[in-house]
Amino acid sequence: MPETAKRSIPFLDQLLDFIYPESCPECTRPIRAGNLKASTSSLQNNFFCADCWGAIRRIEGARCPQCAEPFPAQSALSHSPGHLCGDCRSAPPDFSRAVTPYPYEGAVAKAIQRLKYQQQHKLVQSIADLLFKDLEGLSVDWVMAIPLHPRRLRSREFNQSLLLAKVLAQRLRLPLGIDLIRRIRETPPQVGLSKKERKKNMHRAFSVVAPDTIAGRRILLIDDVFTTGATLREAAKTLKKADAKEIIVATPARMIL
């Protein structure tokens, strides 16, 4: 490309933004205008203004060491760092650890919704940024994603969890396991279901295709949102039955119930 053409691109972008300013999905202000302001956040995003994306805050305070559920009392782990939440004590999940750094709210929730329901695939990189630093250094053999049932996949045309898993596998320099775990039951959407109903809905929903590939391996299992954990619990249970050595589950966001 000629040098003069390269120099003209920023000017054309600015002109288009001036004539047709793209609004931030969170605050409705022009995105470019917001991005001119300095942000203290290390997160970068071109789909939300700098103020809204920079305002994203991690879940802080004491959390269950296994499922990462926030404890009501910030001092819950002061005297017993390995103290588990009630659910993990009464019905221990088959995953050893959950990584869910951000609350499902504000710009994070809107970004995931736009990826999932409006097919804004370019958001995958920014959403993956929310998880990447928390996953660096993990000792795992495979990265996998919660699968969709084939009929749901044909309807939606993509699996947002697999898109995230693909980006994270590339950044972590780990192999991506595609179709090693499948959804064999077409379950109704989980939205609006109680915790008990979600668990029943996911019962025996998954199957491992190649158990020999899973046996003895450490798996990083990716999904988009951790709500009650029913989906991730059932998938981890299926992988554990195939003799996976360890399963770590990860989502960029978590519903605070």
Two structure tokens written together for 48: 């939300």
> The whole model's pTM is what?
0.85
What pLDDT score was predicted for residue 245? 98
CB-CB contact of 226 with 256 (8 Å): no
Q: Say yes or no to pLDDT of 32 above 70.
A: no
Mean pLDDT of the chain: 86
Query: What is the DSSP secondary-structure string of 65-125?
Result: TTT-PBPSSTTTTSS-TTPPPHHHHHS--SSSEEE--EES-HHHHHHHHHHHHH--TTHHH
- Report the chain's C-alpha Rg in angstroms: 20
Q: Which segments of 136-249 does DSSP mark as H helices, in order?
A: 150-156, 160-172, 195-202, 211-214, 230-241
Q: For 65-77, what is each residue's pLDDT tens digit? A: 999 999 988 777 8
Question: Mean pLDDT, to the nearest integer, of 114-134?
Answer: 92
Distance CA 146, CA 231 (A): 8
